[in-house]
Amino acid sequence: MIPPLCRLSLALVLFATILGLAALFKTTALTLGFFGGIGIPSYGLAASLYVFDVFRDLKRHGVL
């Protein structure tokens, strides 16, 4: 089972990747703006959620 934060992270990565591919194949100011304004921050948020979940699991198991 995938934890909820990891599922949210995966969804954000998928969303940002779709925006990035749209910007590659149809390069307009609108698609680049969506990728820059929404896609790139989605990658950052997904990474931080994933790292937060990993540290939470490590604390739960007494590693940290």
Residues 30-49: tens digit of each pLDDT: 777 877 888 888 888 888 88
> Are the C-beta atoms of residues 55 and 40 closer than 8 Å to each other?
no
Report the C-alpha gap between 36 and 25 in whole angstroms.
Answer: 15
Q: 4-36 pLDDT, tens per residue? A: 877 888 888 888 888 888 888 877 877 778 778
Question: Which phi and psi (to 5°) does residue 2 adopt?
Answer: -90, 125
Q: Of all helices (H) and strands (E), which one includes residue 42?
A: helix 40-60
Q: At what angle do helices 40-60 and 4-25 cross, to 10 degrees?
A: 160
* Structure confidence at residue 59 (pLDDT): 92
pLDDT score of 50:
85
- Indicate whether 53 pLDDT > 80: yes
Domain ranges of the chain: 4-60
**What does the pLDDT read at residue 19?**
83
